[in-house]
Amino acid sequence: MSRIWPVIAVFWLFMMSACNPDASVNVPTKKTNEAIIITTTSFPYSTQIATETRILPTHTRTATISSTRTLEPAANPSSTTPAMSFSSNDTTKPFLPIFNFPISENYNQTIDSSYRYGTTQNGARLPHDGVEFYNEYGTPVIAALNGTVVFAGSDEKELWGRFKDYYGNMVIIEHSPVPAGPNFYSLYAHLSKINVRTGEVVSSGHKIGEVGFSGGAIGSHLHFEVRVGQPLLANTSNPELYLPLGTDASGVSMGILAGRILDASGLIVEDAGINIQAMRNDQVDPDQIPTYLTSYTKGMPLNTGVGENFVISNLEEGEYRLTVYISGSLQERFVRVFADQITFITIQPKN
pLDDT in tens, 123-153: 899 999 999 999 999 999 999 999 999 999 9
340 belongs to a structural domain: yes
pLDDT band at 244 (very low <50, low <70, confident <90, very high): very high
* DSSP secondary structure string for all residues of 253-299: B-EEEEEEEB-TTSPBPTT-EEEEEEEETTEE-TTSPPEEEEPPPTT
Instruction: Work out the average pLDDT over 282-292.
Output: 93
Residues 158 and 236 in one domain: yes
pLDDT digits (tens, 9 = 90+) for 35-85: 455 554 433 323 322 323 323 233 222 222 222 332 222 222 222 222 333
Distance CA 186, CA 191 (A): 14
Residues above pLDDT 90, as percent of the chain: 67
Residues 235 and 259 in one domain: no
The yes-or-no verdict on residue 255 having pLDDT over 80 is yes
Of 314, 323, 290, 308, the C-alpha closest to 91 is: 308
Q: Which of 220, 241, 262 is the last residue of a domain?
A: 241
SS3 state at 10: helix
Residues 263 and 230 in one domain: no
Range of the domain at 89: 2-93+253-347
Strand partners for 315: 255
Residues above pLDDT 70, as percent of the chain: 74
CA distances to 308, 317, 320, 340 from 248, in Å? 25, 9, 16, 12
Residues 236 and 147 in one domain: yes
Tell me, what CATH number does 313's domain have? Answer: 2.60.40.10
The yes-or-no verdict on residue 103 having pLDDT over 70 is yes
The yes-or-no verdict on residue 268 having pLDDT over 60 is yes
In the chain, the number of structural domains is: 2
Asked if 279 contacts 342 with a C-beta cutoff of 8 angstroms, the reply is no
Residues 216 and 284 in one domain: no
Residue 34: predicted pLDDT: 52
Residue 208: predicted pLDDT: 99
Strand partners for 347: 261
202 belongs to a structural domain: yes
Residue 137: predicted pLDDT: 98
39 belongs to a structural domain: yes
Q: Which of 221, 241, 261 is the last residue of a domain?
A: 241
Residue 191: predicted pLDDT: 98
Residues 266 and 221 in one domain: no
pLDDT digits (tens, 9 = 90+) for 299-349: 999 877 888 999 999 999 999 999 999 999 999 999 999 999 999 999 999
Higher pLDDT, 96 or 111: 111
99 belongs to a structural domain: no
Residues 141 and 217 in one domain: yes
113 belongs to a structural domain: no
Residue 47: predicted pLDDT: 30
Of 257, 246, 244, the C-alpha closest to 309 is: 257
Residue 181: predicted pLDDT: 87
The yes-or-no verdict on residue 156 having pLDDT over 90 is yes
Strand partners for 211: 191
Residues 84 and 138 in one domain: no
114 belongs to a structural domain: no
Please, how many CA atoms are within 13 Å of residue 83, restricted to the half-sphere of its CB?
Answer: 13
Residue 21: predicted pLDDT: 32
Residues 153 and 227 in one domain: yes
Residues 335 and 278 in one domain: yes
Of 226, 295, 227, the C-alpha closest to 263 is: 295
Residues 293 and 224 in one domain: no
Residues 54 and 135 in one domain: no
Instruction: Work out the average pLDDT over 244-257.
Output: 94
Q: Which of 218, 241, 264 is the last residue of a domain?
A: 241
The yes-or-no verdict on residue 25 having pLDDT over 80 is no
